[in-house]
Amino acid sequence: MKKIILTVAAVFAFGVANAQDKKESAGGQTSEGKWLIEANTGNAMLGTTGFYFASQDGESTMNLGLDGGYFIMDDLAIKAGLGYGSNSANSTSSFSYRLGAKYYVESMIPVTLDLTGASGDAVEIANETPMWLGIGAGYAWFLGENVSIEPGLRYNHSLNENYTDKAVIQFNIGFALHF
């Protein structure tokens, strides 16, 4: 019985050591030292660094933005994002920014925590300076070594008492490049 237990323990220890070695040598998409560039779908609210376009009754609203990050350790990236939006109805524009972190649980379930804000003509007309604290989670489908699709849910809580949207829930689809 002792020989069986020792054999199983030795095989288990060898397997764990071998798996760790493969993980380190493989340099997965979310490994320390890797970079991340992502584009997400967005919505019409101010302060998004995602992609959004809507047109109704001759009025168009659009937003363009990207987020980038650096993995400071396995599965944890520090991120920053920039976005530009415009509205043809009142000829206004906005600039948005995002700072935060993204952690991949088990290297495939991204969880984000970030601070998003906006400035520009659209913000001045509304007489508001929006800022949100956001948290999100999703799932990452890796389509090879460098690309992932990451659908997820996001909750944004307004940090500005005067801003009308106190809480916004979003469904986003993210497209990320890992290198």
Q: What is the domain-level CATH number for residue 129?
A: 2.40.160.20
CA atoms within 13 A on the CB side of 98: 31
Domain that holds residue 129: 29-178
pLDDT at 15: 45
The verdict on residue 24 lying in a domain is no
* Angstrom distance (rounded) from CA 50 to CA 39: 6
The verdict on residue 18 lying in a domain is no
The verdict on residue 114 lying in a domain is yes
- Averaged pLDDT of the chain: 81
Give the Cβ contact number of residue 35 at 10 Å.
12
Instruction: Indicate whether 16 pLDDT > 50.
Output: no
| Number of structural domains the chain divides into | 1
The verdict on residue 75 lying in a domain is yes
The verdict on residue 33 lying in a domain is yes
Higher pLDDT, 2 or 86: 86
Higher pLDDT, 47 or 73: 73
